[in-house]
Amino acid sequence: MKSKTTNYTIIFLLLFFSCNKNQEEILLSDIDLDKIRNSYNEYSYKNSHKAEYIYDQNKLHRFDIWLTNENLSKIDADPAAEQYVEGSLVFEDEVISKIGIRYKGSIGAWVGCLEGEDWSNPSGAKKCPKLSLKLKINWKGSDNKFYGLKKLQFHSQNLDPSKMHERLGYWMYRNFNVPAPRSNHAIIYINGEFSGLYANTEQIDSEFCNENFTNGDGNLYKEVWPVNNYNNATSEDRLKDALKTNEEISDVSKMKNFGIEVETASDNEIHSVVSKWIDTEQFLKTLVVDRRIANDDGFLHWYCGESGSCHNHNYYWYEDPVLNNIQLIPWDLDNAFENLVSDENPVTPIKDKWHEKSSNCKSFRFGQAGLYQRSASCDKIIGSYAIYIKQYDSLDNVFKNNFFNINRIDNLLDSWSNQIENSVEMAHKKYQNKEINISRWKSEVIRLKSNIKNSLN
């Protein structure tokens, strides 16, 4: 077994001799990286290694990412390409020698963080201190797992000054028994240097399905609705493009049939059709949490173009192969909680309550940005739940009494704030005004608490 002292000595010497005196950048060659890898014992997955340890709410884990200067420069030069390069991961004095590493994001995540001037077409080199990261443990077709996981995701939280949106939002879903990713915080070091505090949020993939569903080998779809905004069944090709599991077989017949049944159902038939495919109480629970946390950039926000074509995003569907039903899974909560009391985000506000309709179900402009949207209830699936308002209200009361109340939330945010405070301070000390200072961060957490409290009045 290699000792910690030996590891640290080797790494210190490598970093010392790899630093250019005229630069702060650490230059690592393939030889240097091999020496770092060899200074650790190789990680070996054991059955006792459970993902729950990685997402333990009482832990603030440190992850060390190592990659050559050539590979780091490659992803820094074009983060939006989202191309993997090879590197290594060190965790608790063990190394996974070869993993894939890339930046990840969406249009919103790239804004202000890339050199390219056209925000609608993200391009150019990295200019923010940190960007969201994805680590591929099963690199190049290997069957490697890390605590039962094939991938790790570290989200930058650049748009969330409180650093709490993802963790609190997913905690609410999961504790109300809605399948959702686990999330806590993590500290990331890249080539020995502190990179920052990230949200450590679980990847929705086959491992997630096995963890959350009894029959976990079914189809997983990303950001595809069973019908389009004209309530016509989504095409088979579009469904296949959205598959995230079982891509080799690509049997999307069940989801396709659901879409066809929704398309052809009359007003009198739609409730029985939808309830056959989606558990009513489970979907209502999803709606309850979604609305309480103001997840306005989620599946209830139908963004539209000037032509009238609309879409929603930031969700997955899981299709149970035995029960033949489907379950919605929420995703991407960095913009949640923003519009709790007032429309703070110029892009994401939703005009109507989830069961209301405006503008005869045609698109209309709304929000400071003046973007087009359409009422969610105009969708036949979502609209079919409007008859369950009393049940929705009852579940909402249960949710507030047990989870979404100010006493519970204060305790959670206080505990998590104590956990990450030093890391927030470290980030500001390193990056100065590019990262939030400790005083303002504390104010943002207080403001989040206040907004939640006011939303409950």
> pTM here?
0.92
pLDDT in tens, 70-90: 999 999 999 999 999 999 999
The pair of structure tokens assigned to 219 is 């189809």
The per-residue pLDDT of the chain, averaged, comes to 94
Q: pLDDT value at position 106?
A: 83
- The predicted model gives 365-375 an average pLDDT of 97
**Over 80: is that where the pLDDT of 14 sits?**
no
Determine the pLDDT at residue 26. Answer: 56
Does pLDDT of 16 surpass 60? no
- Work out the average pLDDT over 396-421: 99
From the centroid of its chain, how far is CA 245?
A: 18
User: pLDDT for 230-242, tens place per residue?
Assistant: 999 999 999 999 9
pLDDT of residue 136: 98
Q: Is pLDDT above 90 for 11?
A: no
At 2 the pLDDT is: 57
* Domain boundaries defined on the chain: 4-203, 214-397, 406-456
Neighbours of 393 (CB within 10 A): 12
- Phi then psi for residue 117, to 5 deg, are -90, -20
The rounded distance, in Å, linking the Cα atoms of 277 and 385 is 13
Helix (H) or strand (E) holding 88: strand 85-91
- Round to whole Å and give the CA distance between 168 and 183: 8
Mean pLDDT of 411-435: 98
Q: What are 192-215's pLDDT values in tens digits?
A: 999 999 999 999 999 999 999 999
Token pair belonging to 205: 């993939």
CA atoms of 98 and 77, how far apart (whole Å)? 22
**Mean pLDDT calculated for residue range 43-47:** 93
pLDDT at position 32, please? 85
Rg of the chain, C-alpha, whole Å: 23
Question: Quick one: tokens of 3?
Answer: 């000792």
Where in 128-210 does DSSP place strands (E)?
A: 133-136, 151-155, 183-190, 193-201
List pLDDT tens digits, range 100-144: 999 999 888 898 999 998 888 899 999 999 999 999 999 998 999
Segment 50-64 mean pLDDT: 98
Structure tokens, 16: 């010392």
CB contact at 8 A, 409 and 455: no
The residue type found at 138 is N
Q: What is the pLDDT of residues 328-348, one digit of tens each?
A: 999 999 999 999 999 999 999
Alpha-carbon span 133 to 246, nearest angstrom: 25
CA angle 93, 97, 102 (to 5 degrees): 105
Whether residue 355 has pLDDT greater than 60 = yes
Is it the case that residue 10 has pLDDT exceeding 80?
no
CB 363 within 8 A of CB 383: no
Percent share of the chain, pLDDT over 90: 87
DSSP state of 298: S
Whether the Cβ atoms of residue 224 and residue 239 lie closer than 8 Å to each other: yes
- Cβ burial 62-79 (10 Å sphere, 16+ → b, else e): ebbbbbbbebbeebeebb
Split at pLDDT 50, 70, 90, the class of 9 is very low
CB 295 within 8 A of CB 336: yes
